Structure 1
Amino acid sequence: MPAIQLPAPIRERLLLEIYRQANELDWEFLSNSERTDHYRKWIEDPKVGGILRSFGEEKDARVWIKDVPMKEYARAQEGIGNYVRYAVRRFRGAEEIVQAAFGTGWSMKPDSISEKPNHCYARGDDATRYVCWGRAGTFRDLIWAALNEAIDAPERPAVVITIRDGETVASPDRRRQIQVAAHCGVDLTHLHRTMIPNPNYAGSVNNGS
């Protein structure tokens, strides 16, 4: 646990500010070096590091930023976890994944979302099926998760490769993914997703809008 412990109102304000900036930066597309640079900028920012240094040392402030808000940022954009309300924009959620994988007659089984990788169970046609999803770079993890599920599940599992605005999957990579999934007995879908304004955004309340 990070050494810095914050009063709830200050913690809330910091989470909103960091996620606001991460949204403007399109954090998911930054290189490792660009992210490192921006961690330094956050430490120097009076609205972020300036506040955190009032409660601990600079090294602890950096750890807090990395291990609290940014560790959860990608999950929050997926609509998963306790930090969803701080994300300015997010994806539509697991229902979009389920319907892309299985069709409009299917819906997510309540309380079935989990992670590593992101996955859930879907219900439809008197059956329950497993689906996991992630970006193309995680395909190996996704196919392995689906294979492990297939061993015990009566229904064929599915993998959804998610592609967001600004991303592409090269045709040779897409073909190979399709071939691997077919060989493994796993359904595969490539889904282009667009982010939407977060309907649960806490900043709307704080801004009085």
Structure 2
Amino acid sequence: MQLPAAVRELLLLEIYQQANDLDWEFLSNGEKTAQYRKWIEDPKVGGVLLAYGPEKDARVWIKDVPMKEYGRSQEGIGHYVRYAVNRFRGPEEIIHAACGEGWSVAPESVGEKPNHCYATNGEVNRYVCWGRTGTFRDLIWAALNEAIGARQRPAIVVTTRDGETIPTVERLRQIEVADHCGVSIAHLHRTMIQNPDYAGASLEG
């Protein structure tokens, strides 16, 4: 959809504010589908989008533009970070959990599918990927692929957030699998912070 920049900005802020209020990541697939319908019916969202195209295009835009990037934005990654009301502290927090102090994120190394980057201590680089427990298989596979020919043992970080826990049996199984595969593993509970780069701050105040 061809949207004026100002209109696009306001839509992104509105949708991300509502997603934040809904705890989008905790919604079931059915609840998310219902919310897409509500957004189409919402004068602040669908009411605006329908002025620029048909309903099917409006629905696709919501799914493929703001919501496709929502999870990455909460990680502090991507072009839409400034629209997330709250977010995690970013890859540096992951690196410290996986490698300890003295390591930092190597420049231009952050990527996705799964979220990953290279940690550096100034001498060597180390692959680190992270995600929630439901992505554990993807994390292991990504780390195994990186392990081939790597000088440093790759690491994965399984993350939880407030309101989320991993059963002890599942956590121990993840540790066993990672150890068998020659991959380091850490479990990190993260708390979201107010986004210091939030674009809506100037509008609020």
TM range (shorter): over 0.9
Residue of structure 2 equivalent to 1:127: 124
Which residue of structure 2 lines up, in the alignment, with residue 34 of structure 1?
31
Q: Tell me the TM-score normalized by structure 2.
A: 0.98
TM-score normalised by length of structure 1 = 0.96
- CA–CA distance in 1 between the matches of 2:134 and 2:31? 19
Is residue 2:2 matched to residue 1:5? yes
Distance of 2:34 and 2:110 partners within structure 1 = 34
Q: Distance in 1 between matches of 2:180 and 2:29?
A: 34
Distance 1:136 1:47 in 2: 35
Tell me the amino acid that sits aligned with residue 68 of structure 1: V
2:172 aligns to what? 175
Q: Deviations over 1:147-202 (max 9, x none)?
A: 00000211100000000011111111101100000011110000000000000000
2:143 pairs with 1:143: no
SS at match of 1:202: coil
**d(CA) in 2 for partners of 1:84, 1:205:** 15
Q: How far apart are 1:5 and its partner, in Å?
A: 1.2
1: CA distance between counterparts of 2:100 and 2:146?
20
For 1:56-135, list aligned pairs within 5 A.
56-124=53-121, 126-135=123-132
Distance 1:18 1:101 in 2: 33
| Matches of 1:132 and 1:159, distance apart in 2 | 5
Q: What CA distance in whole angstroms lies between the structure 1 residues aligned with 2:33 and 2:112? A: 26
RMSD: 0.8
Q: Which runs of 4+ in 1 moved over 6 A?
A: none
Rounded to whole Å, the distance in 2 between the matches of 1:172 and 1:154 is 31
Q: Where do 5+ consecutive residues of structure 1 fail to align?
A: none
CA change 1:125–1:182 in 2 (3 A) is farther
SS at match of 2:68: coil
* Aligned mates of 2:116, 2:15 — CA distance in 1: 27
Equivalent in the alignment of 2:202: 205
For residue 118 of structure 2, what is the amino acid of its counterpart? Answer: Y
Q: How much does 1:126 deviate?
A: 2.4
Q: Could you list the runs of 5+ residues in structure 2 that have no partner in the other structure?
A: none
Kindly state the Cα deviation for residue 206 of structure 1 after the two structures are TM-superposed. Answer: 2.6
Percent identity, please: 71
